[in-house]
Structure 1
Amino acid sequence: MRLKNKVAIITGAGSGQGKASAKLFAKEGAKVVIVEWNEENGKQVEQEIIDEGHEAIFIKTDISSEENVRSVIDQVVGKFGRIDILFNNAGIGFSARSKYKMASLMETPLEDWNKIMSINLNGVYLMSKYVLPIMIEQESGNIVNNSSLNGILGVTGADAYTASKGGVVALTRVMAVDYGKHNIRVNCICPGAIDTPMIAEVLDNEKIAKNFATNPLKRVGKPEEIASAALFLSSDESSFITGLIMPVDGGWSAV
């Protein structure tokens, strides 16, 4: 029960790393707020957590919309009276290739660039902007941002995605410095290849799947392994850690 009675907002909690985190946080005692644009997925995760005897609510949200985000925070504070944890997990990547072009800088249309930024980077900005005043008033809080290995390495082929995730890394550092005086910690996870719906199509390609498994541990990661890292950073076990950029990548960034 490492998060007993904590109120935790998790964005993109309808699938993959967000879903695994929502279920783990609930198991550890948190009241979980599932922020998700896909209503079917969000309701399903909510019900699964409730069926397991834990507390969760689902709020359908577009995190790139300031109006949506403001409404979410108002609803959470109205119901629970506080916010202890924000896991900025939501993002779009390879699974969105049918909607937005994942390509080099010169081949990326401006419209697609802006949309990827609006979700991956602006979503972190907006959620944090409206959660921080609550945490400042409490004089406590934990924010965990989910970036990517692309945010710290020069991975080619999806430059808008890479730039957005690099922005999340930089934003994490400045937030940690700005808000540490309010007893608010801000840290960042940089996952490598994780077996989620976001890269499912890519993993079906045997050649690419083998390339993803060239890290020292010789495999792709599991969503539950990202959830465990997020739990550690959200709990009191990491009480003297802030501004950390944590690769969870099977050692890929060490090579």
Structure 2
Amino acid sequence: MSTQRLSGKVALITGGTRGIGREFVERFAREGASVVFTGRSVDAGKEIEEEAKARGENVTFAAGSAASEDDVRAAVDLAVSTYGSLTTVVNNAAATHLTGPGRPDTKVADVSTEVFDEIVRIGLYGTFWAAKYAIPHLIAAGGGAIINISAASSVLSITGRPSYQSSKGAINSLTRQIAVDYGQYGIRSNAIIVGFTNTGGVEMTKMVANEALMAPVRKTIMLPRLGLSSDIASGAVFLASDEGSFITGVLLPIDGGLTCHLEMPDTASAAALGD
């Protein structure tokens, strides 16, 4: 049996009831961490908790929203009171129900202030509050890891979604600021830049099955497959583990090469055509 890479760690994971967030919860627990995770879906949260406990894992669900400072603070307190300390925070919660095709996070001139505010509140403020209330406990634990989940669209914008992309861009800056301010206490702060990832949900499954839609997406990815939630979780486990103990202030792309190139015509081929 392999050594558990997160044995002895206590992790708070926000937005952990579905998709990549659920993968974080399950992987961290499997790697030996004690986990408190948040989410708005009480039924899903309780189901994940019960399944984990049946496997003998230390997993506790904290119902709540990243849009509520009180809920975020309560989740931090629950992790410490339940498992005795806090060493790791994964800020994954995002207002995905408001962004994407057909949703109200459209273009700057069209998006309402209320929608912009809610998306930024959940993504950016939720990340800020989790870090704010966790940091004293991470210091008390002798250090730890903050892992913020960002997006490729925070560095290379796509059409629409100004609220979501603004929140993720600000999270990138906040990640670096925490690294600078708290590195002296042994706190490492990094962000994962997530590219197109097949999370396996109902909408995503329909999208992936539509090859006309997926063909241009596949062209932006340098590897011969789509990303999976497990790929993102693997990166988070590495950053949370002692293997990542000298890594801080990094924006780590896990995107199959999506952000490593410009989507432009092959200039070498164009030059050859001119001969």
> TM-score, structure 2 length as denominator?
0.87
Partner residue of 2:151 out of 148, 152, 155: 148
Greater relative CO (CA pairs within 8 A, separation 6+): 1
**Corresponding residue for 1:118?**
121
Identity %: 35
Q: Which runs of 5+ in 1 are unaligned?
A: none
Kindly report which structure 2 residues correspond to 1:204-243, keeping only aligned pairs within 5 A, or say none.
205-214=210-219, 215-243=221-249
The residue type paired with residue 33 of structure 1 is: V
Q: Which has more radius of gyration?
A: 2
Distance in 2 separating the partners of 1:198 and 1:122: 28
Matched residue type, 1:222? L
SS at match of 2:197: coil
1:250 Cα offset (Å) = 0.6
Q: Select which of 148, 168, 172 maps to 2:171.
A: 168
Structure-to-structure mapping, 1:5-84, within 5 angstroms: 5-84=8-87
Shift of 1:154: 2.2
Secondary structure in 2 matching 1:90: coil
Conserved? CA contact 1:93–1:198, under 8 Å: no
Find 1:92's aligned residue among 85, 90, 95. Answer: 95
CA contact (8 A) 1:212 1:219 kept: no
Q: Secondary structure at the match of 2:86?
A: coil
Deviations 1:109-146 (A, max 9, x none): 11110010011111100111110111122231110000
Q: Distance in 2 between matches of 1:149 and 1:198?
A: 22
- Residue 101 of structure 1 is matched in structure 2 by 104
Alignment root-mean-square deviation, CA? 1.9
Q: Alignment length, in residue pairs? A: 255
Matches within 5 A, 1:187-206: 187-196=190-199, 197=201, 200=204, 202-203=207-208, 205-206=210-211
1:248 equivalenced with 2:254 (yes/no): yes
Q: 2:203, 2:194 → 1: CA distance? A: 12
Tell me how far apart the structure 1 counterparts of residues 101 and 152 of structure 2 sit (CA, whole Å): 22
Residue identity opposite 1:78 in structure 2: S
TM-score normalised by length of structure 1: 0.94
CA–CA distance in 1 between the matches of 2:99 and 2:165? 14
In 1, Cα distance between the equivalents of 2:174 and 2:47?
32
Q: Which is further off, 142-151 or 100-109?
A: 100-109
After TM superposition, give the deviation of residue 158 of structure 1 in Å: 1.0
Q: Indicate the SS of the match to 1:86.
A: strand
